[in-house]
C-alpha cells in the first residue's frame, strides 16, 4: 500500500502542515507492526516534515539530486555511499515509505529473544543493521566485500 | 629468591632510620616554632639512629651554651627551617612510595592511598606520643592553594576529551543533581537524627547540618583517581565517576558558601535562596569561562615561543595556576576553571610547542600531581591524631550510614532517569560501581577545617565524623573495590591498541552516523561535534596555532633529500604524467602510498589521544605513567614503507612509460623542465611541524608528482579526457565512488579533473574555474587523496588539522 500521488496532494490540501504527517501515518501504519516497533508517531511526523523539506520539487518522492542538495552530506566522505544506500536496486526515486524503512534501521537495537521465529525480522534488529552496514561497504552489490572495496573504504577514511 | 626478600627487608630497615631522622628534625621544628630554644646537635642524630624508644625520650632539649668565641663550625637551623621542612616532608612521601612499590604483594591488596594514610597515622602517632601535642595539621590554605591544583591540572590535561564530551550530559547530571540529592538527603536525615533527644545533638541547627551535608557529599577526585586507576574498569565507567568527582566542585563550592552565609545570617529572605541558585550558575559557568579565557591566552602565547623553547612548559603551568587563583579569587569554582583551562589549552599548545617541551610538561605534571597526592594522604593521616576529637556514636554512625545509603539511592534513581536519554545504558553493575566508587577524601577534610568555630560549637564533632567517613570510604571501599570488580566481572579496559582497520571502521561509522543525521535533519552530538570542529578549524586554529616550520636539522635534511630525489626523478622523465595517470587509474600504487599516510595518521591519533578506551581504544589514563608514545620502531617502519612504495611506484611508472602512450612523452619533457622550478619553490614554502614531518614528506612528494601532471591546460587535454572517461566508465560500471562527490556532471574541459574530484562538491555549488597556478585551490586539489574541504569529521581533529594546515598554506 503506497501513498498515491493524488491521495497525497489531497491530504496536503486538506490538512494543515502540522498534521500532514499524521495522516501519512495512517497510510504507513503497518510499518509499526511489521517492521520496526520503535518508530513512533512523533518520529513519523517529524520525518515526514523533513521528507517534504528535502523534496523541493514537491513530486512526492525523493531523488538522488535531492539528497545531494544536502550540503553536509556533500562534504561527508561517505556521502555518496549513504545516498546509494537509500536507492537500492537502481531505483531512482524514493517514496516516504522506503525513506522511513531505511531510517528505521537506526533505531536502538531490538532484542530478538521474544520474537516469533516466523515473523519477519524487525528492521532495527542487529542482523538488519549489519546488513545495512554491509551494503555500505559492498558497493557493487555482489554480496561480497572485495579487496578493492576495502581499499576504497580505507582511502575514504584518509580523506579528512 | 631468598636474597631478594632479604634485599627488601634491608631496604625497609634502611628506610626506618631515615624516617626517624626526619622525625627528629620535625620534633625540633615544632619545638622551635613553639618557642623553646633548643639547638640541634649532630649528636642527636646518632641518638635517634639507635633505638626507637631511646630516641623518643632522649630527644631534644639539649641546651648548648653559646660562648662568644669564634666558632669554626656552627649550625643555624632557623635560616633554612621552612624550606627544609617542606623538602623533608616531600622526601618522606617519596621514600614511602618507593617502599610500597618494592613490596609488590602489599601493593596489589591495599591501594596506595591507604598505605600513605597509614604512614601518616604512624607519623602522627609518633609525633603526638612524643610531644603530647597535636602534630602540625595541614592547613586549608596549603591544601587548596598548593596541593590540589597540580592534581586537578593533571586530570584536566590528560582528560580524554572524546569520552568526556560524549558523556558530558550524564556526568553533569550526576554531578549536579546527584550532589544536590545527596546534600538534601543526608542533611535532612541527619537533622532528623539530631532531633532525637537521646543523642545529645539538639544544639545543631538545620543550616549547620545542611552545611555539613554539603561538604560531606562531595565525591573527591583525588581519592577516586587514586583508587580507580588501579582497578582498570572500562572507560565509560571511569569517566563517569571521575568526571562527576571533578565537576561536582561547582555545586560543592556554591552550596558550602550558601549555607555558611545562611548560618551566619539572622534572617533568611527568599531573595537569598534565589541568590543562592543564581550563584550556582555563576560559579559553574563563570569558572568555565575563566578557564577557557586563560586557556586561549596560553595557547596564543605559545604561538610566539619558538625562540624561547626552554620556558615553554613554564607558560603552561603559570597560566593554569593563575587561572585557578583567579577563579578562587572571584569565589568561582577553581576546579572547573582549571579543567576548562587545561582542556582548551592542551590541543593548541601541543601543536605549538616542541616535542621536548611537551614531554617536559607531561612529566612535570605527573610528578607534581603524584607528590601532591602523596602529601595529601600523609597529611590526612597525620592530622587524624589529635586529642580534640569529639566522638558521638550516633552522629558518626548515622553520618556514615546516610552517606552510603543516599549515594546508592541517588545513583539508582538518577540512572533510571538518565538511561532513557542514553544510547549505551548504564547497567546494574556499572551503577553499583558508581555508587561504591563515591569516595570522600581530602576536599571534605579541608572544608570541614574551614568551618568557623564560633558559628559551629560542635566543629570537632564534624571533624571526627568527616574523618571517619573518609577513612571508611578510602580504606574499606578502596580495598574491597578491586575484588568486587573482579567478582562482578565488570567490563575492564582493553589494553590492546586498536588496529588500523578498527580505526578505519570506527571512523567509517562516525561519518555514517553524521551523514544520516544530516539526512534526518536531526542535530545530536555528532552535529555539534562537527560544528565545533569546523569552528575550531576555521577560526581558532588560525589564531592560536603557529605556522609550522621544520624544527630539527635532520628532518629538514631529510626533506631536502627527498625533494632532490623527487625532482631528479621527475626531470629524468620517469614520473611523467602518463605514468602517473596510469598508476592512478590502476589504483595499485596508490594503495601502497595510501597506506603509509593513513598509518601515520592513525599512529598520530593513537599518540595524541591517550584516551580512555571506548570499546576498543587506546590504553587508559594512568596516574603513574605517561601515555604511550610512538616507538622508534613505528617511525622506522613508516620510513621503510614509504621508501618501498616510492620504489614500487617508480617501477610502475617505468613499466607504464615503456608500454604506454608514446605521444605524450614529448609533452612531458618540456613541461617538466619548464615547471620544475615552480614546485620547488612551492615546496620549500611548505611548512611543516616536527611531528608530521613524514606525513609532509609524503604529501610533498605527492605534490611533486601531481605537479608533473599539471601543465598548462592545452597539453593535458587529451589526457584529461581519457582519464575522465576511464573514471566515468568505472563509475558507471560499478558505482564505485572513486572520487567522492564526483558526479561526472562537471563542465567540459576540466583539465585538472584528475586532481580536482575533491572539489566537485564545491563546484556544484559555485562554478569555479581553477587554474593550477592559483594558490589555495591548487593546493587543495593537488592530491586526490587529501581534499581538505570536508568539514565533517575527523574524530581526530589533530590530524585533520595537520593536513589542513599543510595543504592550505598559501604559497
Instruction: From chain B, pick out residues whose CB is under 8 angstroms from the CB of A72.
Output: 514-515, 518, 530, 791-792
pLDDT at B198 exceeding the cut of 80: no
Q: Which residue's C-alpha cell is 619558538?
A: B306
Please give the Cα distance from B217 to B105 (Å, whole number): 33
Distance from C-alpha of B331 to C-alpha of B287, rounded to nearest angstrom = 9
Match 552530506 to its residue by C-alpha cell.
Answer: A73
**What percent of chain B clears pLDDT 70, i.e. is strictly above it?**
57
Closest to B218 in 3D by CA, of B182, B165, B257, B170: B182
The residue among A147, A46, B622, B639 whose CA lies nearest residue B630 is B639
pLDDT surpassing 70 at residue B773:
no
Q: Is 0.90 surpassed by the pTM of this model?
A: no
Report the pLDDT averaged over residues B228-240: 82
Angle at B324 between CA B321 and CA B327, to 5 degrees: 150
Q: What is the pLDDT of residue A124?
A: 67
B80, pLDDT greater than 90: no
Closest alpha carbon to B178 in B476, B417, B340: B417
Instruction: Report whether pLDDT(B133) > 50.
Output: yes
Report d(CA A23, CA A38) in Å as an integer: 19
Residue B238 has pLDDT above 60, yes or no: yes
d(CA B803, CA B248) in angstroms, rounded, equals 38
B688-700 in b/e burial notation, b at 16+ Cβ within 10 A?
Answer: bbebbbbbbbbbb
> Residues B38-54: what's their mean pLDDT?
33
Q: Higher pLDDT residue, B70 or A12?
A: B70
Q: How confident is the model at residue B613 (pLDDT cuts 50, 70, 90)?
A: very low
Mean pLDDT check: name the lowest of B186-200, B209-223, B233-247, B495-509: B495-509
Cα–Cα distances in Å, from B657 out to B570, B636, B653, B660? Answer: 13, 31, 6, 5
**Residue carrying the nine cell digits 626533506:** B559
> What is each CA distance from B211 to B142, B155, B207, B265, B485, in whole angstroms?
22, 27, 6, 14, 33
- CA pair distance A3, A44, nearest whole angstrom: 14
What cell does B194 get? 539530631
CB B204 within 8 A of CB B194: yes
Beta carbons of A151 and B587 less than 8 Å apart? yes
**Which is more confidently placed, B608 or B372?**
B372
Which pLDDT belongs to residue B43?
A: 30
Residue with cell 576511464: B726
- Residue B158 to residue B618: CA distance in whole angstroms: 13
A62 strand-pairing partners:
A94
Q: d(Cα B44, Cα B302) in Å, to the nearest integer?
A: 52
Residues of B in contact with A71 (CB under 8 A): 765
Contacts of A78 in chain B (CB under 8 A): 508, 511-512, 515
Are residues A140 and B735, on separate chains, in Cβ contact within 8 Å?
yes
Please answer whether residues B171 and B247 qualify as being in contact, where contact means their C-beta atoms are separated by less than 8 angstroms. yes
Contact residues for B10 (Cβ-Cβ < 8 A; gap 6+):
none
Give the mean pLDDT of B739-763.
Answer: 37
Picking from B515, B590, B761, the nearest residue to A78 by CB comes out as B515
Distance from CA of B792 to the nearest CA of A (A): 6
Question: Which region among B223-232, B469-478, B486-495 has the lowest average model confidence (pLDDT)?
Answer: B486-495
* Residue B145 in this model has a pLDDT that exceeds 80: yes
- What is chain B's alpha carbon radius of gyration, rounded to the nearest angstrom? 33
Question: Contact B147/B369 with Cβ under 8 angstroms?
Answer: no
Q: What share of chain A is helix, strand, coil (3-state, %, to 5)?
A: 60, 0, 40
Q: B260-274, B288-302, B304-318: lowest mean pLDDT where?
A: B260-274
d(CA B616, CA B614): 5
The per-residue pLDDT for B633 is: 47
Instruction: Give SS3 for B665.
Output: helix
- The sign of the dihedral angle between the CA atoms of B88, B90, B92, B98 is negative
Determine the pLDDT at residue B319.
93
Residue B313 neighbours by CB under 8 Å, 6+ apart? B353, B357, B360, B361, B364
Q: Grid coordinates standing for A78?
A: 561517505
Q: Per-residue pLDDT for B553 more than 80?
A: no
| pLDDT band with cut points at 50, 70 and 90 for residue B409 | very high
- Residue B640: which H helix or E strand, with range? helix B632-659
Of B111, B131, B155, B156, the C-alpha closest to B34 is B131
Q: What pLDDT score was predicted for residue B730? A: 39
pLDDT score of B407: 93
| Residue B6 CB contacts under 8 Å (≥ 6 apart), including other chains | none
Highest mean pLDDT among B319-328, B576-585, B730-739, B771-780: B319-328
User: CA torsion sign, A87 to A88 to A90 to A96?
Assistant: negative
Q: Cβ(A108)–Cβ(A38) under 8 Å?
A: yes
Comparing A2-6, B41-45, B490-494, B758-762, the range with the smallest average pLDDT is: B41-45
- Lookup result for grid cell 660562648: B67
Q: Round to whole Å and give the CA distance between B753 and B711.
A: 12
Task: Answer yes or no: are the C-beta atoms of A37 and A89 closer than 8 Å.
Answer: no
Taking 3-state DSSP, the helix, strand and coil percentages for chain B, each rounded to the nearest 5, stand at 75, 0, 25
Q: What are phi and psi of A135, to 5 degrees?
A: -60, -35
**Distance between CA atoms of residues B545 and B298, nearest Å:** 11
Nearest to B542 by CA among B694, B351, B356, B733: B351
Shortest distance between the Cα of A135 and any Cα of chain B, in A, equals 12
Beta-carbon contacts of residue B389 (< 8 Å; ≥ 6 apart): B460, B463, B464, B467
Q: From CA B245, how far away is CA B601, in angstroms rounded? A: 33
**Segment B720-742 mean pLDDT:** 39
Among B507, B734, B738, beta carbon nearest to A157: B507
The answer to whether A38 contacts chain B (CB < 8 Å) is no
Q: How far is CA B379 from CA B118, B144, B478, in A?
A: 10, 13, 18
Interface contact A151-B735, CB threshold 8 A: no
Span B731-747, mean pLDDT? Answer: 37
The percentage of chain B sitting over the pLDDT mark of 90, rounded to a whole number, equals 7
Phi, psi of B440 (to 5 degrees): -100, 155
Per the document, the length of chain A is: 160
Q: Which residues of B touch A157 (CB under 8 A)?
A: 503-504, 507-508, 511, 598
Q: Which residues in chain B are closer than 8 Å to A106, comparing Cβ atoms? A: 513, 516
Instruction: Return the half-sphere exposure (C-beta side, CA atoms, 13 A cut-off) of residue B688.
Output: 26
pLDDT score recorded for residue B638? 57
- Which long-range CB contacts under 8 A does B743-749 form with residues at least 24 apart? B743/A68, B749/B713, B749/B717, B749/B720
Q: Is A151 on the interface with B (CB under 8 A)?
A: yes
Whether residue A158 lies within 8 A of chain B, CB to CB, comes out as yes
List residues bridging with A94 in a β-sheet. A62
Confidence of residue B425 (pLDDT cuts 50, 70, 90): confident
Helices (H) and strands (E) in chain A, counts: 10, 2
Chain B interface mutation, best of A71, A76, A131, highest count of B Cβ atoms under 10 Å: A76
Averaged pLDDT of chain B: 68
pLDDT in tens, chain A (160 residues): 344 444 444 434 433 344 444 555 555 555 544 455 566 777 777 788 788 878 878 788 888 888 877 766 777 777 788 888 887 777 778 888 888 888 887 777 666 555 556 666 666 678 888 888 888 888 887 888 888 888 888 777 764 4
B634-651 tens-digit pLDDT: 455 556 666 766 777 777
Confidence of residue B493 (pLDDT cuts 50, 70, 90): low
Crossing angle (nearest 10°) for helices B235-264 and B334-352: 140
Note whether ipTM > 0.90 here: no
Q: Is B793 on the interface with A (CB under 8 A)?
A: yes
Helix (H) or strand (E) holding B626: none
What pLDDT does residue B781 have? 35
The band of B679, judged by pLDDT with boundaries at 50, 70 and 90, is: very low
Q: Can you tell me which residue has the cell 558559628?
A: B455
Across the interface, of A84, A157, A159, the residue whose CB is closest to B735 is A84
C-beta atoms of A50 and B737 within 8 A = no
Ramachandran sector of residue A141 (left: φ over 0; alpha: ψ -120 to 50; beta: rest)? left
Tell whether B548 is within 8 A of chain A (Cβ).
no
CB contact under 8 A, B736 and A108: no
3-class DSSP assignment, residue B421:
helix
Containing B747, the helix (H) or strand (E) segment is none
B537 has a chain A CB within 8 A of its CB: no
Q: Chain A closest CA to B170's CA: distance in Å?
A: 19
| Residues in B 743-772 with any Cβ partner in A closer than 8 A | 743, 758, 761, 764-765
Whether residue B26 is predicted with pLDDT greater than 70 in this model: the reply is no
Q: When comparing pLDDT for B462 and B45, which is higher?
A: B462
pLDDT digits (tens, 9 = 90+) for B348-403: 888 888 888 888 998 999 999 888 888 888 888 888 887 777 788 888 888 899 99
- Which of chain B's residues have a Cβ under 8 Å away from the Cβ of A53? 521
Q: How far apart are CA B512 and CA B507, in angstroms?
A: 8
Amino acid at each position: 500500500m503506497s501513498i498515491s500521488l493524488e491521495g497525497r496532494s489531497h491530504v496536503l490540501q486538506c490538512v494543515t502542515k502540522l498534521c500532514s504527517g499524521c495522516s501519512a501515518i495512517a497510510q504507513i501504519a503497518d510499518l509499526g507492526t511489521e517492521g520496526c516497533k520503535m518508530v513512533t508517531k512523533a518520529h513519523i511526523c517529524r520525518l515526514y516534515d523533513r521528507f517534504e523539506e528535502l523534496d523541493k520539487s514537491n513530486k512526492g518522492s525523493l531523488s538522488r539530486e535531492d539528497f545531494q542538495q544536502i550540503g553536509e552530506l556533500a562534504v561527508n566522505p561517505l556521502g555518496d555511499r549513504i545516498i546509494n544506500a537509500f536507492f537500492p536496486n537502481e531505483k531512482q526515486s524514493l517514496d516516504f515509505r522506503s525513506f522511513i524503512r531505511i531510517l528505521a534501521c537506526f533505531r536502538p537495537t531490538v532484542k530478538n529473544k521474544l520474537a516469533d521465529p516466523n515473523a519477519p525480522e524487525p528492521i532495527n534488529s542487529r542482523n538488519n543493521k549489519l546488513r545495512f552496514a554491509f551494503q555500505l561497504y559492498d558497493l557493487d552489490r555482489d554480496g561480497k566485500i572485495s579487496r578493492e572495496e576495502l581499499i576504497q573504504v580505507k582511502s575514504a577514511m584518509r580523506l579528512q | 629468591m631468598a636474597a631478594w626478600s632479604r634485599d627488601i627487608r634491608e631496604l625497609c630497615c634502611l628506610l626506618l632510620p631515615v624516617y626517624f631522622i626526619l622525625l627528629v628534625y620535625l620534633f625540633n621544628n615544632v619545638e622551635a616554632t613553639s618557642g623553646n630554644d633548643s639547638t640541634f646537635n649532630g649528636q642527636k642524630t646518632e641518638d635517634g639512629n639507635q633505638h626507637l624508644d631511646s630516641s623518643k625520650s632522649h630527644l631534644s632539649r639539649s641546651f648548648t651554651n653559646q660562648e662568644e668565641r669564634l666558632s669554626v663550625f656552627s649550625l643555624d637551623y632557623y635560616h633554612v627551617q621552612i624550606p627544609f621542612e617542606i623538602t623533608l616532608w616531600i622526601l618522606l612521601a617519596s621514600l614511602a612510595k618507593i617502599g610500597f612499590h618494592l613490596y609488590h604483594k602489599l601493593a596489589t591488596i591495599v591501594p596506595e592511598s591507604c598505605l600513605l594514610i597509614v604512614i601518616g597515622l604512624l607519623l602522627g602517632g609518633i609525633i603526638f606520643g612524643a610531644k603530647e601535642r597535636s602534630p602540625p595539621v595541614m592547613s586549608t590554605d596549603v591544601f587548596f592553594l598548593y596541593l590540589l591544583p597540580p592534581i586537578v591540572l593533571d586530570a584536566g590535561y590528560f582528560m580524554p576529551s572524546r569520552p568526556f564530551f560524549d558523556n558530558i550530559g550524564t556526568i553533569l547530571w550526576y554531578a549536579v543533581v546527584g550532589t544536590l540529592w545527596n546534600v538534601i538527603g543526608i542533611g535532612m536525615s541527619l537533622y532528623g537524627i539530631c532531633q532525637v533527644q537521646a543523642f545529645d545533638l539538639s544544639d545543631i541547627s538545620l543550616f549547620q547540618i545542611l552545611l555539613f551535608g554539603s561538604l560531606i557529599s562531595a565525591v573527591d577526585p583525588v581519592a577516586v583517581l587514586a583508587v580507580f586507576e588501579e582497578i582498570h574498569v572500562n572507560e565509560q565507567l571511569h569517566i563517569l565517576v571521575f568526571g562527576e568527582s571533578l565537576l561536582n566542585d561547582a555545586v560543592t563550592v556554591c552550596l558550602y558558601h550558601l549555607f555558611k552565609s545562611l548560618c551566619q545570617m539572622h534572617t533568611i529572605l527568599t531573595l537569598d535562596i534565589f541568590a543562592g541558585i543564581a550563584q550556582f550558575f555563576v560559579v559553574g559557568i563563570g569558572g568555565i569561562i575563566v578557564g577557557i579565557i586563560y586557556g586561549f591566552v596560553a595557547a596564543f602565547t605559545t604561538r610566539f615561543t619558538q625562540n624561547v623553547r626552554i620556558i615553554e612548559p613554564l607558560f603552561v603551568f603559570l597560566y593554569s595556576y593563575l587561572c585557578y587563583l583567579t577563579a578562587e579569587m572571584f569565589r568561582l569554582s577553581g576546579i572547573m576553571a582549571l579543567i576548562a583551562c587545561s582542556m582548551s589549552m592542551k590541543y593548541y599548545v601541543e601543536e605549538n610547542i616542541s616535542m621536548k617541551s611537551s614531554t617536559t610538561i607531561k612529566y612535570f605534571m605527573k610528578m607534581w600531581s603524584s607528590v601532591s597526592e602523596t602529601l595529601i594522604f600523609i597529611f590526612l593521616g597525620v592530622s587524624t591524631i589529635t586529642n580534640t576529637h569529639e566522638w558521638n556514636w550516633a552522629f558518626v554512625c548515622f553520618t556514615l550510614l546516610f552517606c552510603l545509603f543516599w549515594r546508592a539511592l541517588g545513583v539508582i534513581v538518577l540512572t533510571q532517569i538518565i538511561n532513557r536519554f542514553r544510547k549505551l545504558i548504564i547497567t546494574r553493575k556499572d551503577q553499583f560501581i558508581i555508587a561504591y566508587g563515591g569516595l570522600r577524601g581530602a576536599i571534605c577534610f579541608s572544608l570541614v577545617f574551614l568551618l568557623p568555630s564560633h558559628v559551629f560549637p560542635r566543629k570537632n564533632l564534624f571533624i571526627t565524623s568527616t574523618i571517619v567517613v573518609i577513612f571508611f570510604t578510602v580504606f574499606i571501599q578502596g580495598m574491597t573495590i578491586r575484588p568486587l570488580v573482579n567478582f562482578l566481572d565488570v567490563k575492564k579496559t582493553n589494553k590492546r591498541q586498536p588496529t588500523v582497520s578498527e580505526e578505519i571502521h570506527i571512523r567509517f561509522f562516525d561519518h555514517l552516523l553524521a551523514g544520516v543525521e544530516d539526512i534526518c535533519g536531526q542535530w545530536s552530538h555528532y552535529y555539534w561535534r562537527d560544528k565545533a570542529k569546523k569552528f575550531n578549524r576555521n577560526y581558532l586554529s588560525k589564531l592560536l596555532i603557529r605556522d609550522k616550520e621544520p624544527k630539527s636539522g635532520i628532518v629538514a635534511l631529510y626533506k631536502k633529500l627527498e625533494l632532490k630525489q623527487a625532482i631528479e626523478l621527475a626531470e629524468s622523465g620517469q614520473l611523467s604524467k602518463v605514468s602517473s595517470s596510469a598508476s592512478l587509474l590502476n589504483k595499485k600504487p596508490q594503495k601502497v602510498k595510501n597506506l603509509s599516510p593513513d598509518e601515520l595518521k592513525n599512529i598520530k591519533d593513537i599518540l595524541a589521544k591517550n584516551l580512555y578506551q571506548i570499546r576498543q581504544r587506546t590504553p587508559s589514563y594512568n596516574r603513574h605513567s605517561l601515555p604511550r608514545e610512538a616507538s622508534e620502531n613505528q617511525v622506522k617502519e613508516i620510513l621503510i614503507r614509504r621508501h618501498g612504495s616510492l620504489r614500487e611506484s617508480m617501477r610502475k611508472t617505468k613499466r607504464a612509460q615503456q608500454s604506454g602512450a608514446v605521444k605524450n612523452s614529448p609533452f612531458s619533457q618540456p613541461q617538466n623542465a619548464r615547471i620544475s622550478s615552480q614546485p620547488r619553490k612551492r615546496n620549500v614554502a611548505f611548512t611543516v611541524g616536527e611531528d608530521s614531518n613524514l606525513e609532509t614528506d609524503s604529501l610533498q612528494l605527492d605534490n611533486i608528482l601531481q605537479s608533473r601532471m599539471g601543465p598548462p591546460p592545452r597539453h593535458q587535454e587529451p589526457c584529461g579526457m581519457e582519464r575522465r572517461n576511464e573514471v566515468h566508465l568505472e563509475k558507471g560500471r560499478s558505482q564505485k565512488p572513486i572520487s567522492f562527490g564526483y558526479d561526472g556532471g562537471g563542465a567540459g574541459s576540466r583539465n585538472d579533473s584528475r586532481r580536482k574530484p575533491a572539489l566537485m562538491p564545491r563546484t556544484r555549488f559555485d562554478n569555479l574555474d581553477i587554474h593550477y597556478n592559483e594558490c589555495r585551490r591548487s593546493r587543495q586539489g593537488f592530491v586526490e587523496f587529501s581534499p581538505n574541504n570536508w568539514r565533517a569529521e575527523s574524530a581526530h581533529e589533530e590530524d585533520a588539522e595537520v593536513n589542513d594546515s599543510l595543504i592550505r598554506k598559501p604559497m
